[in-house]
Amino acid sequence: MESILTDRLTILSHPHRLSVFRLLMRRYPDELPAGEIVEALRLKASTASVYLSALTQADLILQRRDGTRLLYAINLDAAGEVVADLFVDCCRGRADLCLPEFSGYLRKISPMADKKLNVLFVCNRNSARSIIAETILRDRVGDKFTAYSAGTAHRSELNPFAVEILTSKGHDVSLLRSKNIAEFQGADAPCMDFVFTVCNRAANEECPTWPGQPVSGHWGMPDPVKAEGSDAEKRLSFHQTYWALHNRIMAFAPLSFENLDRGSLQKRVDEIGKETAKQEYQL
C-alpha cells in the first residue's frame, strides 16, 4: 500500500501531470477527449499523451475508447485512497489531529429559517447559460434559494436571445446584468453553498478556492450563443438550453438538504448532471 501511495504521489508531483489530474477532477463526472485536454491546458498532443499514460498507469484516471477517440475521467476511488492514506499515515488515526480540518466538509447544508441557500452559476461570459439558470432558480424556487451568476471573462453583455427567451417565459429581466466572477470572491461577497459551472470552458479554468467549501457541480451544455443559421434556428437553441437548465434545477431544488451530508449532496448533484444530460441526448 505504501508503495502505491508513493508512486501516485510521485506522479502527481509533476506540475503538468497534476494540472491534468486537477482538470479532470473539476470536470467530473465528464469524460474528456484528449484533444480537449490539450486545448484546455495548452499542451502539445505528444506531451499530453505521456502525462495521460502515466496517470492511467497509476490508476489515478480512467481511460475508455469511444470509436476512434480515447476518453479520460478521474478515478475518484483512487483519489480518495491517496487522501485517506496520507492522513492515516500522517495522523496515525488520531481524530483530534485530522478531524478539525475536515469537519466542515462533513457538515450538512441546511437552510435556516432566516437564511436561504446561496447558489452561483458560472459560465465563460455570463451572457446566456448562467444568466438563464440564475433567473430560473430565482423565479421558480426563490423562497428556498438566493441565485447568482457570473462569468470568467473580464467583460461581457447579456445576449439578446437569452433575454428574449426569459421574457417569453414570463421572467422579470429588468435587474439582470452580466457580472465577473471576481465580484463573488471578495471579502464582502456572499458565502456560497453551491457553485455550478454550466459551460466546459469555465469548468476547465483554474479558479481560486471558494470560501466555505461550497458543493460544486458541472452541468455543462452546448453554448447557444454559438448556434448558427437563421434567427429561428438560434431561438430554438436558446429554447433547448432554457429547458435543459430548467430540468436540472427542478431536480436539484427538492433535494433533502436537512438530511443529506455534503458527500451525499455532491453525489446527487453529479447524478443530476449525468441523468438530465442523458435524457436530453435521447430526445
Each residue's pLDDT, cut to its tens digit, for the chain (283 residues) gives: 568 889 999 999 999 999 999 999 888 888 999 999 999 999 999 999 999 999 999 999 999 999 999 999 999 899 888 877 776 666 555 555 554 444 444 455 555 445 789 999 999 899 999 999 999 999 999 999 999 999 988 778 999 999 999 999 999 999 999 999 999 988 889 999 999 999 887 677 766 667 777 888 889 888 999 999 999 999 999 999 999 999 999 999 999 888 888 878 888 998 998 775 555 544 4
State which residues form the domain around 58: 2-77
Indicate if 70 and 122 belong to the same structural domain. no
The verdict on 198 and 71 lying in the same domain is no
CB contact at 8 A, 202 and 30: no
Whole-model pTM: value is 0.75
| pLDDT of res. 81 | 87
pLDDT at residue 221 in the model: 87
Helix, strand, coil % in the chain, rounded to nearest 5: 55, 15, 35
Q: Are strands 61-66 and 69-74 parallel, antiparallel or unpaired?
A: antiparallel
At a CB cut-off of 8 Å and minimum separation 6, what does 191 contact?
Answer: 118, 211, 212, 214
What's residue 280's pLDDT?
Answer: 52
The helix (H) or strand (E) run that includes residue 117 is strand 117-123
Q: Give the CATH number, domain containing residue 126.
A: 3.40.50.2300
Measuring CA to CA, how many Å separate 128 from each of 91, 110, 160? 47, 29, 9
Question: Cα(63)–Cα(59) distance, rounded to whole angstroms?
Answer: 9
What is the distance between the alpha carbons of residues 83 and 67, in angstroms, rounded to a whole number?
A: 34
Query: Is residue 82 domain-resident?
Result: no
Same domain, 123 and 236: yes
Query: At 19, which CATH number?
Result: 1.10.10.10
Domain count, the chain: 2
Extract the C-alpha cell encoding 108: 450538512
Same domain? For 56 and 159 the reply is: no
Q: Are residue 58 and residue 190 in the same domain, yes or no? A: no
